[in-house]
């Protein structure tokens, strides 16, 4: 059966590692990377498959670096 799922894409080089998105995610989908980006910040990354595309993370992200997708998967 088709199911609605979400996905996020983080602009890694623009992320400042503030972790505000982690607090906002109801499905614990985001955690900080072990690596750092070019500016030296740990960046937000997806760590599970539970994203619903609710947009919470993207809305609170101070740097507006998250794009959110929502769609059907078979």
Partner 1 sequence: MEEPFVKTQIRKDENIVYKRTSLLVDRPLSYCPGCGHGVVHRMLMETLEEMGIQDKTIGVSPVGCSVLAYDFMNIDMIGAAHGRAPALATAIKRLWPDKFVFTYQGDGDLAAIGTAETIHACNRGENFTIIFINNGIYGMTGGQMAPTTLPGMRSSTSPYGRNVLTMGHPLKITELIANLPGVNYVTRQAVHTPNHVRKTKKAIRKALEQQKENKGIAFIEVVSNCNSGWKMTPVQSNKWMEENMFPFYPLGDIKVDGKLVQSSEVAK
Contact set with ligand SF4 (CB under 6 A): 6, 8, 10, 15-21, 24-25, 27, 29-30, 43-44, 51-57, 61, 63, 65-66, 68
Contacts of 50 (CB under 8 A, 6+ apart): 27, 28, 29
User: Residue 71 binds which one of ligand SF4, partner 1, none, with CB within 5 to 8 A depending on kind?
Assistant: partner 1
Question: Considering beta carbons, is residue 1 or 35 the nearer one to partner 1?
Answer: 35
Coil, helix or strand at residue 24:
helix
Torsion of CA 71, 73, 57, 42, to 10 degrees: -130
Minimum Å gap between C-beta 39 and partner 1 is 8
């Amino acid at each position: 059966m088709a199911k609605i799922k979400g996905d996020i894409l983080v602009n890694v080089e623009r992320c400042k590692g503030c972790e505000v998105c982690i607090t906002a995610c109801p499905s614990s989908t985001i955690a900080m990377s072990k690596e750092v980006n070019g500016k030296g910040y740990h960046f937000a990354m997806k760590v599970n498959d539970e994203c619903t595309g609710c947009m919470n993370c993207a809305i609170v992200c101070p740097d507006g670096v998250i794009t959110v997708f929502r769609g059907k998967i078979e």
